[in-house]
Amino acid sequence: MNNKSLFSSIFIVLFIIFCVPLALSQEVDDENEFSYDVNSPNGPNNWGGMCNQGHMQSPIDIADERVETTSKLGVLERDYTPSNATVMNRGYDIMLRWIGGGGSIRINGTEYQLNQIHWHTPTEHAINGQRFDLELHIVHQSADEKIAVVGILYEIGSPDSFLLMIEPYLRAVAPTKGVELSVGIIDPRQIEFGSIEYYRYNGSLTTPPCSENVTWTIVNKIRTASLEQVLLIREAIQDETGANARPLQALNDRLDDWGYPNVDIDGADLVACPRLVGDVRLTNKKDDWGWNMEGHSVYSVKESKQWLLGPVNRDESYRYKWCKWLPIKCNIFMWRANVDRIPTMTALRRRNIVVGDGWCALCGEAEETTDHIFTACSVASGVWGGISSWCKISPLFMFSIKDVLQSSNHLDGSKTRKEVIYGLLILTCWCLWKARNDKIFNNREANVVQIVSDVKVLGFLWYSSRFKEGKVDWKGWCHFRVDLM
């Protein structure tokens, strides 16, 4: 065999080797290979791979009657990190891809790297037979090439904050298939899950080749995206149907799991519980008050006053400085917040009262605790920035409710100025709590500017009418000339 023939043979072998992976990648990346039109020769009924042969295909209809509730799944352990990313129009969807990965998620002890996200409209999965307007797929892959996808469903409503952030990039690639745009650092932690509860099942990819053994996690809270955002996603879909949602697939005896956080119980508490319950004796007598301090058996106001005023060692966390120019309701509220006695979602769960998904009503980004809602919440951070600017003080950095109460101690200025700012700190927490309740009970979205405005108006009303040193007009109050008050 001469060198020319040998070269030709090697070239043919290499050509075949390198063309096979290329063909496999095109099977997924080229929208001409498949269509979402059920009447098309390339429609879902004619997709290749496992699409019409597998027995664990996705998406599915998640029905409550088939869901098994369990706490064994645990909390989704996300460890996402900001990374360089690109946005690409693949013809059948828009994909945002993190170069080198965007952190990881841990499921059942296995770590999966975050690779990319993309959107389907309408939703591919259904909840109790209902499909919604948009579905986000967050795609992860483990070191042994196992795939885990987290799905978040959306209905038309308020704009989604993550889509707002990347909207300019989506608009740039939406009109043209195959365009890939570098977008710099994108933080996947900005994707709001909105709930710590979810559905879990084993399924497949929802596009050819429909590979199975994909671990699906569907967040159970339906979030919102604006009509404009959904239409923008649809603009990139170059399919005759104008949609990119695969039809629902047969369950084939699969059972869905509904996961919620597994709350650890202290061993000592578990042992003590039967003993405490065993000491309870039910009778037909009416309840009465008992007083165990100093050996007295009868409760009285006099006894309680003596105990409160006496030399008793008490927890310092219960100490609270009353603000004299605020109404009693604000002071009582802040005292209760200081001792973690306001009905946050976390506090209610501690009392076995499960309401909602447990996440902060204002931001939906973390569990709702007292410290979070008044300091770490993104809405609260915006409000504190507005208050700091108005009061002409350095930005407030606080991590707990006690930090809020102590912030005014470190400020310069007169005693009156410190007293005013101390009251405004309490009033701001009161207005944040009011905004939180408006969101829960009246479905009113929290607005940072409106909350800051409420603090100014209520502060002026109460300061000018309840504080003997509060001689100030509205103009002076808006410019916060407290040293002249």
C-alpha pair distances (Å), 321 with each of 24, 331, 419, 423? 69, 9, 11, 10
For the cut 50, the answer to whether the pLDDT of residue 76 exceeds it is: yes
Alpha carbons 439 and 433: distance in angstroms, whole number: 10
Q: Could you give all domains of the chain from N- to C-terminal order, each with its CATH number?
A: 60-261 (3.10.200.10), 322-479 (no CATH)
What is the mean predicted confidence (pLDDT) over 142-162?
A: 93
CB 386 within 8 A of CB 407: no
Provide the percentage of residues in the chain whose pLDDT is more than 90. Answer: 39
pLDDT for res 7: 37
CB 113 within 8 A of CB 130: no
For the cut 90, the answer to whether the pLDDT of residue 262 exceeds it is: no
For the chain, what is the mean pLDDT?
Answer: 81
Task: Kindly state the tokens that stand for 278.
Answer: 């065993």
C-alpha pair distances (Å), 122 with each of 52, 237, 248, 253, 455? 22, 12, 12, 25, 42
| Region of 117 on the Ramachandran plot (φ > 0 left; ψ -120 to 50 alpha; else beta) | beta
Best CA proximity match to 101, nearest among 89, 118, 90, 85? 85
For the cut 80, the answer to whether the pLDDT of residue 472 exceeds it is: no
Alpha carbons 111 and 215: distance in angstroms, whole number: 12
C-alpha pair distances (Å), 132 with each of 43, 116, 196, 245, 321? 22, 22, 20, 11, 50
pLDDT for res 273: 62
pLDDT for res 266: 47
pLDDT for res 337: 92
pLDDT for res 166: 92
Going 153 to 155 to 158 to 164, the CA torsion angle's sign is positive
Best CA proximity match to 334, nearest among 416, 432, 412? 432
Give bridge partners of residue 67 from the DSSP assignment.
Answer: 256
C-alpha pair distances (Å), 45 with each of 36, 246, 249, 358? 9, 10, 11, 41
pTM attached to this predicted model:
0.52
Which residues, other chains included, contact 261 with Cβ-Cβ below 8 Å and sequence gap of 6+?
71, 74, 75, 196, 358
> How many other β-carbons are positioned within 10 Å of the β-carbon of residue 314?
8
Least confidently predicted of 143-152, 260-269, 390-399, 459-468: 260-269
Kindly indicate the confidence band of residue 333, based on its pLDDT and cuts at 50, 70 and 90: very high
pLDDT for res 25: 33
Going 19 to 23 to 29 to 33, the CA torsion angle's sign is positive
What is the mean predicted confidence (pLDDT) over 149-178?
A: 91
For the cut 80, the answer to whether the pLDDT of residue 402 exceeds it is: yes
pLDDT for res 311: 57
pLDDT for res 272: 58
Measured at the CA of 413, the angle between CA 411 and CA 419, to 5 degrees, comes to 75
Bond preceding residue 327 cis, omega within 30 of 0:
no
CB 260 within 8 A of CB 217: no
Cα within 13 Å of Cα(62), Cβ side = 28
Over the stretch 15-61, which tens digit does the pLDDT of each residue have?
A: 333 333 333 333 334 444 788 888 888 899 999 889 999 899 999 99
CB 102 within 8 A of CB 83: yes
Alpha carbons 404 and 339: distance in angstroms, whole number: 13
C-alpha pair distances (Å), 305 with each of 150, 308, 312, 443, 450? 57, 5, 12, 43, 42
Task: Kindly state the tokens that stand for 434.
Answer: 């009011």
Best CA proximity match to 95, nearest among 249, 248, 244? 244
For the cut 50, the answer to whether the pLDDT of residue 3 exceeds it is: no
CB 176 within 8 A of CB 94: no
